[in-house]
Structure 1
Amino acid sequence: MKYIYVIIVLLPFFCSCRPNESRVKVDISKLEEIIIDPKKGIALPMDSLIKNIFFVKLETKGDNLIGKISQILFVNDLLFVVDNESSKSINVFDMKGSFKYKISHIGNGPGEYVEISNVCIVPGKEQIAILDRPQSRIIYYKYDGQYVSMEVIPFINDYFEYLESGNKAYEIYGMNDPKLGNNKQNSLIVADSTNNLIYSFFKDIYKPEFHYTKNRTLRKFQGNVYYSPNITDTIYLVKDSTVEAKYHINIAEKNVTDMKFETSEQFNDLLNDNYFFNGDFIELKDFTYINVMTPWGYPSAVYVHSKKKVFLNSGVGNHPFFNFLTNEPKARYNDNCIVFDVQSYIILASKDKLYGNKKSDPLLDPLFDNLTEDSNPVLFFFHLNENL
């Protein structure tokens, strides 16, 4: 089977960061095959896949404008909305969308950052951690934005996630930091709470002629950290001393990972006509929600854990908010809910289509009330149907 072949081929590169260079154990015993067949798969209307929908309009004030949302974190009935490009800040809202406060400390001094590379919730503490990649440091704040401490990272990394033990999983694809010794040959390292290396995993395929990267290879859902290595179709569960192969995403039709390519240009050319699992997924309590990259969009599939069965999204549905179930979701909420963020100008552009000949609609009126092109994005919550 393909996924076993890939794992066996890569096993020689799984090495530990300990002095004795013992290899990390990769557990393949629990690997589940998720077959996504665009031609023969069972496609269901969105009315069957989605149980209910609600939205949260993020309150807009003069000092909390959000350009593009990079992350959404849910903490103690609060929404932490990260904008790492435009405002370089974290705006905090309640679950009704009312603005509470803003975390913004741009600068080079103590407790300040140059860039929000990513944000993590610190396990066991009421704190968030901001990775400032240009300055190779992590800055810790309380939930209310009060500065706590700063930690220097002794090696270059792209972003990280916390394991529940306090250990950290770092994405180092293409970093090639000599401080990591032989471990720089791999794309993921796991370190303890003080950044002593425990092990590294998965051979780094970056090279000058091939530098394509997935959207986000490290993801955390409800305490579990998942890693989907670049240009692969396997999702791994990252643990403190081992890596567990969790899912193999088997796209049965025109799968790019089955094809030969040497350069980024060749790979991009293949994407023009073929399918690819770009690492976009949300792990839920009862489902895995998966987006597939295609030449014509990002169709989704729902893998039902209990039945080990896949249902494709037909793209057809009656609810007006299905218009905003596009591309990949930004976050998980509670057990089986996926969250999309939609810019206000996109919503306004769909107004005439959604209303049709109607002047008023009880579903749509609250959404468009006081919404302008300068309003903050709107979050849409789609609760999947547990009876699938």
Structure 2
Amino acid sequence: MKYICIILLFFFFYSCRSHEYRTKVDVSNLEEITIDPQMGATLPMDSLIENIDFIKLETKADHLIGKISQILFAKDLLFVVDSEISKSINVFDLEGHFKYMISHLGTGPGEYVEVSNVCIVPGKEQIAILDRSQGRIIYYKYNGQYVSMEQVPFMNDYFEYLNSGNRAYEIYGMHDPKLGNNNQNSLIVADSTGNLIFSFFKDIYRKDFHYTKNRTLRKFEGSVYYSPNISDTIYLVKDSVVEAKYYINITQKNVTNMGFETREQFYSLLNDGYFFNGDFIELKDFTYINIMAPWGYPSVVYVHSTKKAFLNSGVGSHPFFSFLMGSPKARYKENCIVCDVPSYIVLASKTKLYGIKKSDPLLDPLFDDLTEDSNPILFFFHLNKNLK
């Protein structure tokens, strides 16, 4: 704990000196999540997960999803963001029935060149699309109707809304001169008009080292979390304070704690070590964490009530356990994580899952009418509420 406090004090001192926009770090609620990837407590998937559902996203010839980058839930709607291939947002109901697509590529009013990030606007039935290329934020109603457009106040990678309407921006490596001395930090909190409230976390970006964690800024059930680059700590971002929430203590070959100066040294350490890459889902009773390992991305379930962490053994009896691959994309309701799986991967498992059976009441609905060209399938893994 002494080591953690030293790190936090360093962040506070370095980030705030000579800056006009100041904040503080609250360490009073910091929890340590200890992960021993070799000797830690391990549970089978049957113990960690109590139920699995799936949604087959309806496939239409002119509304195909290439690669899912975000999954958002609002009211009774499901927003599936494909920022790389179709550059669109496909909207479904919670049974997977297609409703409409938001797709307005271009440079005119209400149009975007890229879908850099999508946010749910708090207090309104609207989504906000960040178009980083054009420096725009474009607003649409849930039904796809264009509302308005604004210019971003400064360069940013992506942002999330705080419940107050203020915004937390990730600006790693941007160094926008509009921000003055604050451009040396990687997190900016500003009001709805772009006026800075505070900035924090010294930006470690440099030309010869620019590794970036997978989505350092995340939002779950109204709370915004930030995990700085090459850091083992997860913070809660609030309107006037940054609260240290979790310290991820990987006890074996933790790359974050190893000395490295160059990008080559860093990647060499990843080949033989363990690293928290910012992949986590905050749930009501649990925190679901993925870490990087030489052999894959093992997952850990941290139980809030008992402060215990359990490694996923990867062994389980349910046929759908094989689709819990990589890092989940979203949280659903209280204690459910959501993974998207391409249809061709699901089809590749068909023979193995059926074995000698010709029919199975669990498998038949999944494979019925499924082709390699079908849209991805969303799997909902409900964590075991009795886990202690």
Note whether the superposition's TM-score is higher than 0.5: yes
CA distance in 2, matches of 1:150, 1:247: 36
- Aligned residue identity for 2:6: Y
CA distance in 2, matches of 1:76, 1:9: 42
- Aligned residue identity for 1:308: K
Equivalent residue for 1:227?
Answer: 226
Relative to structure 2, which stretch is displaced further, 237-246 or 148-157?
148-157
Equivalent residue for 1:113?
Answer: 112
RMSD: 1.1
* Structure 1 residue 334: Cα displacement: 0.2
- Aligned residue identity for 2:153: P
- Aligned residue identity for 2:221: Q
CA contact (8 A) 1:13 1:186 kept: no
1:1-388 alignment, distance < 5 Å: 1=1, 2-15=3-16, 21=20, 23-388=22-387
**Deviation sequence 1:30-81 (CA, Å, 0-9, x none):** 1000001112211000000001001000000011100000000011111100
Q: Which runs of 4+ in 1 moved over 6 A?
A: none
Q: So what's the TM-score if we normalise by structure 2? A: 0.98
**Equivalenced residues, count:** 386
CA contact (8 A) 2:21 2:197 kept: no
3-state secondary structure, aligned to 1:96: coil
* Structure 1 residue 13: Cα displacement: 2.2
CA distance in 2, matches of 1:219, 1:165: 16
**Deviation sequence 1:148-196 (CA, Å, 0-9, x none):** 1111112110000000000000000000111111001100000001110
CA distance in 1, matches of 2:69, 2:97: 19
3-state secondary structure, aligned to 1:59: coil
CA distance in 1, matches of 2:170, 2:189: 9
CA contact (8 A) 1:16 1:198 kept: no
* Structure 1 residue 21: Cα displacement: 1.7
3-state secondary structure, aligned to 1:184: helix
CA distance in 1, matches of 2:286, 2:257: 26
CA contact (8 A) 2:44 2:312 kept: yes
CA distance in 1, matches of 2:66, 2:364: 24
CA distance in 2, matches of 1:99, 1:88: 17
3-state secondary structure, aligned to 1:381: strand
- Aligned residue identity for 2:374: S
3-state secondary structure, aligned to 1:14: helix
- Aligned residue identity for 2:266: F
**Deviation sequence 1:254-279 (CA, Å, 0-9, x none):** 10011011122211111000000000
Give percent identity, aligned residues only: 77
CA distance in 2, matches of 1:365, 1:249: 41
CA distance in 2, matches of 1:132, 1:16: 32
- Aligned residue identity for 1:280: D
* Structure 1 residue 242: Cα displacement: 0.6
Gaps of 5+ in 2: none
CA distance in 2, matches of 1:267, 1:303: 27
Q: So what's the TM-score if we normalise by structure 1? A: 0.98
CA distance in 2, matches of 1:262, 1:357: 55
**Deviation sequence 1:267-302 (CA, Å, 0-9, x none):** 111100000000000000000000011111110000
- Aligned residue identity for 1:219: R
* Structure 1 residue 22: Cα displacement: 5.3
CA distance in 1, matches of 2:88, 2:375: 14
CA distance in 2, matches of 1:47, 1:275: 25
* Structure 1 residue 341: Cα displacement: 0.0
